[in-house]
Each structure stands twice: as structure tokens, then as C-alpha cells.
Amino acid sequence: MSSTFKIPVVTQTNFSGLELVSRGKVRDIYDFGDTLLIVATDRLSAYDVVMGQGIPFKGAVLTQISDYWFEQMGDVVPNHLISTIVYDFPSSCKPHWADLEHRAMFVKKTKPLAIECVVRGYLSGSGWKEYKETQSVCGIKLPSGLVESDKLPEPIFTPATKEDVGTHDENIDFDRATNIVGKGIAEQLRDISTKIYKRAASIAEKKGIIIADTKMEFGLNDKGEIILIDELLTPDSSRFWPKDKYTPGKGQESFDKQFVRDYLDSINFNRKPPAPKLPEDVIFKTSALYLEALKRLSGKTLV
């Protein structure tokens, strides 16, 4: 692909007049007291290493897909989203509207809970690796004889710890999750997460996408109620597989960053910083996959 083909890519933001409080693997977060502005950049992390190059349109895709799913799940659990429309943001954001459009969420501030809520409907990734060794995932015993990418009899809740940038989240069993957040909260998180996954999987399948697994985050509001936060059912937090190409017994084609992971595996990347330079074809193919996921799920287009 010609290197003269240029698309604006945002890998970092530093908005004057706004208070930057956190920079994660993908998102830059600005504080407004009781609310936050979460800006999804085009950064991409693979194997918990942030790549040096961004993926065109990625941040906007993440924000727009999350917006779509938050609306779909509004009756399951409250979420933190106030608006993704720049005109609704605080007035101090106005000089930055052009940069914030499509890629920013204005949200309620919550107290984040210290576990990742992962639901798996198919056997893939770290779940497949663990199953091969123990015939279980996160302490949940599974039937013998399953192959990679098999659909599970029922979706399973497999929580993980939250680790800092550059450190891999650790899969944990339900007992350890209860030790971290408390039994009552852990049970609610399990039930809510599973309900969201089942509904999303049903919606996506009708649109030609299998959601193999997904990761969610929750927080507590000032009343101690559970609130869905961060992103929801995006190509960054989920494995999206094209339904028409699904074949158990091997890894699947996907609408997520697996294309980048496959490239990194092909060059024997040691999964430690610094990240290698990604070829242009890998960057633009990944961008196209993210855009396709947005179009299939929500009907929205950005180009």
C-alpha cells in the first residue's frame, strides 16, 4: 500500500484547559469533578504492549460501538454514559470539538471495581490454553474432548485481575473474585455480565458476528449501586468472529486485533516493550476490520 495514503491518527491527546488524570493503554481520561471525559485514541495494545503506531479510526470505532451496546443493555444494568455528542460536553471542551468528535464519551464518575468481568461462550485464547492443561477454565470444569474455538455448552464467567499497563491481567477463579470484591458483588457481577453476553451474542449472530468472549468493567456509584463502565463489547474487549467462516478446531478469522497478534507471532515478538514497527498493510487491514465490525453491528459508518 502506498505510503502517501494518509489518514489522521490520534495516538495521544493533551487538551489545553482540561485536566488529564490518566493515560491507559488506549484511553486518555480528563477529570471534571463528578464526571469524566474518556477519549479513545487510536493506540493499540497487543499482549499488553502498546504499539508505537496507531490504527486509523480505531478510537472512534470503539466509542461508537460502546455507545450502541450501552443503549442495547440499558434495561439490564445502568451505565456511566452521559453523552458521546460533543455539544453535550462541558464548555471548556469546545475548542477541542473537532478532535473529540466520535471518539469521546462524557461519563459519570464511579468507584471502579477491581476485577475484570470476562464471559466466554467459546473456547479460545487463554481459556483454550488453560483447558488443554486442566480441562477447566478459571476453576470451571468443562467437558472433555473440546477443540479450539468450540462453542461451550453454556457461557462461563471467568474473572481476571486488573493489572497496570504493561502487565498481563491474570485469570482467577470465582472464589478469588469474591475475596477481592465481596461475595454479594461478585454474584451480581457474574449474573449481569452473563446476561449482557447472552443478549449481545444473540444480537450479533443475527448480524453475522460470533462474539466468542468479552470483557466488561463495573464500578459503584455514590449510592453503592453497580454501574457498567469503560467500554462495552468492542473489538478491543471482545473476540468477534465472522459467522460464515467459523470452523472449530483452529484459531478463527476475526474483526479485532487478532490480525496484529498474528503478525507479532509471525516475527516471534517477545511480548515485551519496545513494540516492533507494524507494516502498513497490517495497520490498514486492522483498521478495515474495526470499521467492518462497527458497520455490521450498528449500521454506522465513519468513512
State the CATH number of the domain containing residue 141.
3.30.470.20
Evaluate whether residue 86 is within a structural domain.
Answer: no
User: Residue 38: CA atoms inside 13 Å, Cβ hemisphere, count?
Assistant: 26
What is the model's pLDDT at position 4?
39
Evaluate whether residue 248 is within a structural domain.
Answer: yes
What is the domain range of residue 116?
112-277
Cβ–Cβ under 8 Å, residues 196 and 190: no
Amino acid identity of 239? R
Quick one: pLDDT band at residue 5, thresholds 50, 70, 90? very low
Could you give the angle at which helices 174-181 and 183-206 cross, rounded to 10 degrees?
A: 120
Evaluate whether residue 234 is within a structural domain.
Answer: yes
Distance of CA 177 to the CA centre of its chain: 20
Evaluate whether residue 105 is within a structural domain.
Answer: no
Evaluate whether residue 249 is within a structural domain.
Answer: yes
What is the model's pLDDT at position 165?
55
**Angle at CA 67, nearest 5°, toward 54 and 55?**
10
Element counts in the chain: helices (H) and strands (E) = 7, 16
How many domains, the chain? 1
End-to-end CA distance of the chain: 18
Evaluate whether residue 178 is within a structural domain.
Answer: yes
What is the model's pLDDT at position 104?
98
Render pLDDT for 111-132 as a digit per residue (tens, 0 to 9). Answer: 999 999 999 999 999 999 999 9
Percent above pLDDT 90 for the chain = 90
Evaluate whether residue 196 is within a structural domain.
Answer: yes
For 285, the enclosing helix (H) or strand (E) is: helix 280-298
Beta-bridge mates of residue 28: 23, 39
Cβ–Cβ under 8 Å, residues 161 and 116: yes
Evaluate whether residue 91 is within a structural domain.
Answer: no
What is the model's pLDDT at position 168?
64
Quick one: pLDDT band at residue 2, thresholds 50, 70, 90? very low
* Average confidence score pLDDT of the chain: 94
Distance of CA 113 to the CA centre of its chain: 16
